Amino acid sequence: MRWARAGVVGIVAVAAAFAACGQAVAFTPQPVPQGGWYVEGFADMYAETMDPSNAEPPFGIDPAIVGDDEVDFAAGIIATFEAPDHDGDGLPDDGAYASDLRHFGAQIGNTTWDHTMPNTGVLLQVKAGLVTGLGSNITCTMPAHPDLEFFMPASPGMWAALDERGDKNLGSISGNYVLRDATVPEPATLALLGLGAVGLAARRRSKQCGKGT
Q: What is the pLDDT along the chain (213 residues), one digit of tens a residue?
A: 122 223 333 333 333 343 334 456 899 999 998 889 999 999 999 999 998 887 788 888 899 999 988 899 998 999 999 999 999 999 999 999 999 888 988 888 888 888 888 777 788 999 999 999 988 777 666 556 677 777 788 889 888 888 877 777 888 888 999 999 987 655 444 444 443 333 333 333 333 434 444
According to the model, what pLDDT value does residue 212 have?
A: 43
According to the model, what pLDDT value does residue 185 have?
A: 54
**Residue among 26, 188, 24, 191 nearest 102 (CA):** 191
Angle at 32 between CA 29 and CA 34, to 5 degrees: 150
**Residue among 44, 36, 59, 26 nearest 165 (CA):** 59
**Residue among 53, 63, 55 nearest 168 (CA):** 53
